[in-house]
């Protein structure tokens, strides 16, 4: 029982649960939300046009000065201004022959959003690519992979000078490069402002051609196994997914509780489904205002994240566990931040990875101190293939680790898989498949058309399904030890990270055909720096006695609670570098690609199982 569990939640305007459960003779279970899916637009441009007409002066997006972010204040664009510019950019694409995808290489900016929606209005699918592929890569393998697979006709970069090296690495040739600042050299390029021209009848005709089946985006996903895939995201998938989330809210009551339109300040990148669809487009569908946060929960960028959140009183906040962990510490020591954050907040959520119960308790302690009440902190679950949210915890919640229940508009199927239940989903938010990859598309769906998510789940309370589902590991990541014992890598990864309570951000579970389970551990840099009291680099943190003691203590407790061979951890080797997204070590859900990481770090895996164990291997 937590310190605050007796204190009521601030009102959360969720609709009452109405889930239906269908137990089949073959042991599979079908779950439906029970509430109807609210009527949704046919495509992603509809809400932008609608709010431009209904609330023309309301701010859609706000950002810091892109050249000098240290300047005070925000640059804003209203819904009406945005719709005018989106039409002008669409006209530019139509004039240039809009018959192919548009690659976007940019952080989250107003221009990025305008190019994205302008291209989609013109009928061009967009391909938002992680900037690291162009800025940090040494060989540009991932960038060239995307380029060759999708074959974009246009490439947009925020800053031509900044992305010059990446453009050179992907051999742009004669294709048109659009830019907001600083023309790149050696290519046919055009300033975005000059490219955009006033929209005419052809733009209106392009708008009328959009349908739910029109391809809106190709979202690159690495997944936890296999090669990257380009997931087809249709307009209907994303437009419906926004309404799926809103279908479990009493929206009139939400507006009353939050004091008006929805406001969010968020850093999650639009190159991933979480930031692009669950944040940017959902806020557009709400008719809300999104402040673009160029900070992040890293030591270097955390001050900027805190600066922004002290200026913006949000009504909803959705982010990854690492950011919540950083915020918990900042809330505890910064009263001004806590007052601003909790002033209007109605709903808090996390996704992408597991979050420890201790983080929840620390946040609630501050919430109660500031507001006198708890604030619901829940989780969402899905994939790039589900646009992305397939389920969430849509009730006042104080239990971490749940993925919730299916949202209106899709059906979950739980299929027996050994001792586990494999999760599959069918619905309006599910992709038709992978671009130019019929083999993987066919393998992704079962005989009834349910998409195989590759995850196992279990009921949090077998006697009461309404309490939700909990993640139970990746089915594709299970392996056997030498003695034949099955190990659920996904489940054990979550348990290990939670057991250490902050020092670890993620882990790779090793042991295929070995006698014991061992881990490669990735550190939570900010937490560990606070733990040791110094801003040390990762390679020094990995060898620091306080960090080692913290990891050893947490995993020792885990082993005491899980003494069986499938869950007991024998050794761990802390990594001096973070997992590299550009090398494919990070999945779209934000955790480690287990197979890829073990391949790239094979020498460290060998050290874990070397009879001559070296000093930096932590023995438990």
Give pLDDT, residue 396: 87
Nearest CA among 545, 543, 544, 554 for reference residue 504? 554
Per-residue pLDDT reduced to its tens digit, 161-207: 999 999 999 989 999 999 999 999 999 999 999 999 997 899 999 99
Shared-domain flag, residues 408 and 496:
no
- One domain, residues 447 and 417: yes
Q: Note whether residue 558 is domain-resident.
A: yes
Q: How confident is the model at residue 224 (pLDDT cuts 50, 70, 90)?
A: very low
Percent of the chain surpassing pLDDT 90: 72
Q: What digits encode the pLDDT tens for the residues 299-341?
A: 789 999 999 999 999 999 999 888 898 999 999 999 999 999 9
SS3 string, 305-324, reads: HHHHHHHCCCCEEEECHHHH
Q: 430 and 296 share a domain? A: yes
* Residue 6 included in any domain: no
**pTM value?**
0.85
* End-of-domain residue from the set 415, 445, 473: 473
DSSP state of 123: T
Residues 292 and 315 in one domain: yes
Co-location of 461 and 561 in the same domain: no
Assigned domain for 186 exists: yes
430: which 2 tokens?
A: 């599910």
CA distance from start to end of the chain: 29
Are residues 271 and 180 part of one domain?
A: no
Give the model's confidence band at 60: pLDDT under 50 very low, under 70 low, under 90 confident, else very high: very high
**DSSP structure class, residue 139:** S
Give the β-pairing of 377-382 and 389-392: antiparallel
Instruction: Work out the average pLDDT over 524-538.
Output: 90
Say yes or no: 572 and 442 in one domain: no
250-265 burial code (b ≥16 CB/10 A, e <16) = eeeebbebbeebbbbb
Look at residues 473, 500, 518 and tell me which one is the last residue of a structural domain.
Answer: 473
In whole angstroms, give the CA distance from residue 328 to residue 261. 26
Q: What is the pLDDT of residue 494?
A: 82
- The Cα 421–Cα 415 span in angstroms is 5
The CATH number of residue 553's host domain is 3.30.300.30
> Is 222 inside any structural domain?
no
CA distance 141 to 147: 10
4 within domain boundaries: no
Average the pLDDT over 69-85 and give the result. Answer: 97
**pLDDT tens string 397-437:** 888 889 999 999 999 999 998 778 999 999 999 999 999 99
Residues 454 and 495 in one domain: no
Going from the C-alpha of 471 to that of each of 24, 99, 391, 557, the distances in angstroms are 22, 41, 12, 21
Residue 36: Cβ within 10 Å count: 10
CB 258 within 8 A of CB 13: no
Task: Spell out where 461-610 has E strands.
Answer: 469-474, 478-480, 486-488, 504-510, 517-523, 569-574
379 and 237 assigned to the same domain: yes
The CATH number covering residue 401 comes to 3.40.50.12780
- 489-514 residue pLDDT tens: 878 888 898 899 789 988 999 998 88
**Domain endpoint, select from 447, 473, 499:** 473
In terms of Cβ atoms closer than 10 Å to its own Cβ (0-12, 13-18, 19+), residue 25 is exposed
Residue 57 has pLDDT above 50, yes or no: yes
Taking only the tens place, the pLDDT of each residue in 9-44 is 888 888 888 899 999 999 999 999 999 999 999 999
Q: How many angstroms from the chain centroid is the CA of residue 413?
A: 23
Question: What pLDDT score does 420 carry?
Answer: 85
Q: Residues 189, 283: one domain?
A: no
Average pLDDT over residues 202-219: 97
pLDDT of 353 reads 66
In order of 217, 258, 283, 468, the CA distances from 244 in angstroms are 19, 20, 13, 17
Q: What is the radius of gyration, based on Cα positions, of the chain?
A: 24
* Same domain? 65 vs 33: no
Percent of the chain with pLDDT over 70: 97
From residue 199, alpha-carbon distances to 6, 81, 90, 126 in Å are 58, 13, 7, 20
pLDDT confidence band for 2 (50 / 70 / 90): low
What does the mean pLDDT of the chain come to? Answer: 92
Q: Is the pLDDT of residue 225 over 50?
A: no
- Give the per-residue pLDDT at 591: 63
Backbone angles phi, psi at 461, to 5 degrees: -135, 105
Domain contains 223? no
Tell me whether residue 515 is in a domain.
Answer: yes
Domain count, the chain: 3
Confidence of residue 592 (pLDDT cuts 50, 70, 90): confident
At residue 352 the predicted structure's pLDDT band, cuts being 50, 70 and 90, is low
pLDDT greater than 80 at residue 611:
no
User: Within a 10 A sphere around the Cβ of 90, how many other Cβ atoms?
Assistant: 28
pLDDT of residue 502: 82
Q: Are residues 499 and 443 part of one domain? A: no
Residue 15 lies in a domain: no
Range of the domain at 502: 481-619
Q: Are 17 and 408 in contact (CB under 8 A)?
A: no
């Amino acid at each position: 029982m937590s310190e605050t569990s007796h204190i009521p939640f601030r009102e959360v305007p969720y609709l009452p649960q109405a889930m239906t459960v269908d137990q089949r003779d073959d042991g599979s279970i079908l779950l439906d939300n029970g509430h109807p899916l609210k009527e949704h637009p046919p495509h992603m441009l509809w809400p932008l046009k609608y709010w431009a007409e209904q609330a023309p002066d309301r701010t859609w997006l706000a950002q810091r000065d892109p050249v000098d972010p240290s300047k005070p204040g925000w640059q804003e664009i209203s819904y009406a201004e945005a719709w005018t510019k989106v039409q002008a950019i669409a006209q530019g694409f139509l004039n240039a022959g809009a018959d192919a995808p548009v690659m976007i290489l940019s952080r989250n900016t107003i221009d990025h959003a305008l190019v994205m929606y302008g291209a989609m209005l013109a009928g061009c699918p967009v391909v938002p690519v992680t900037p690291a592929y162009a800025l940090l890569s040494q060989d540009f393998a991932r960038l060239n992979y995307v380029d060759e697979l999708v074959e974009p006709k246009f490439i947009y970069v925020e800053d031509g000078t900044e992305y010059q090296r990446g453009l050179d690495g992907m051999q742009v040739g004669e294709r048109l490069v659009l830019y907001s600042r600083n023309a790149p050299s050696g290519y046919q390029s055009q300033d975005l402002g000059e490219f955009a021209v006033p929209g005419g009848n052809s733009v209106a005709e392009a708008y009328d051609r959009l349908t739910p089946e029109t391809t809106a985006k190709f979202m690159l996903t690495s997944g936890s196994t296999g090669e990257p895939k380009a997931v087809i995201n249709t307009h209907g998938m994303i437009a419906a997914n926004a309404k799926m989330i809103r279908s479990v809210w009493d929206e009139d009551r939400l507006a009353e509780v939050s004091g008006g339109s929805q406001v969010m300040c968020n850093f999650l990148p639009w190159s991933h489904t979480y930031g692009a669809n669950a944040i940017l487009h959902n806020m557009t569908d709400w008719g809300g205002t999104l402040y673009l946060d160029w900070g992040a929960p890293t030591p270097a960028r955390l001050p900027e994240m805190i600066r922004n959140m002290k200026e913006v009183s949000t009504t909803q906040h959705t982010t990854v566990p690492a950011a919540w962990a950083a915020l918990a510490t900042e809330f505890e020591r910064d009263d001004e931040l806590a007052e601003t954050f909790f002033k209007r907040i109605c709903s808090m959520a996390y996704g992408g990875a597991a979050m420890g119960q201790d983080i929840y308790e620390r946040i609630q302690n501050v919430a109660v101190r500031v507001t006198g009440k708890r604030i619901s902190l829940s989780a969402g679950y899905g994939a790039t293939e589900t646009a992305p949210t397939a389920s969430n915890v849509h009730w006042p919640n104080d239990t971490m680790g749940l993925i919730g229940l299916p949202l209106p508009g899709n059906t979950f199927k739980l299929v027996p898989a050994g001792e586990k239940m494999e999760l599959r989903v069918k619905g309006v938010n599910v992709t038709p498949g992978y671009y130019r990859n019929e083999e993987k598309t066919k393998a992704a769906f079962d005989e009834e058309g349910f998409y195989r998510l590759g995850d196992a789940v279990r009921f949090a309370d077998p006697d009461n399904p309404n309490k939700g589902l909990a993640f139970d590991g990746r089915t594709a990541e299970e392996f056997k030890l030498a003695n034949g014992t099955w190990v659920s890598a996904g489940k054990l990864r979550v348990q290990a990270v939670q057991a250490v309570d902050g020092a670890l951000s993620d882990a790779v579970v090793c042991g295929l055909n070995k006698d014991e389970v061992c881990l490669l551990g990735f550190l939570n840099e900010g937490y560990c720096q606070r733990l040791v009291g110094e801003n040390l680099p990762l390679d020094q943190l990995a060898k620091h006695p306080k960090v080692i003691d913290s990891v050893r203590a947490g995993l020792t407790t885990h082993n005491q609670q899980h003494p069986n061979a499938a869950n007991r951890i024998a050794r761990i080797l802390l990594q001096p570098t973070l997992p590299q997204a550009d090398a494919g070590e990070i999945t779209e859900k934000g955790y480690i690609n287990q197979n890829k990481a073990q391949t790239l770090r094979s020498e460290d895996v060998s050290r874990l199982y070397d009879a001559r164990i070296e000093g930096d291997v932590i023995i438990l």
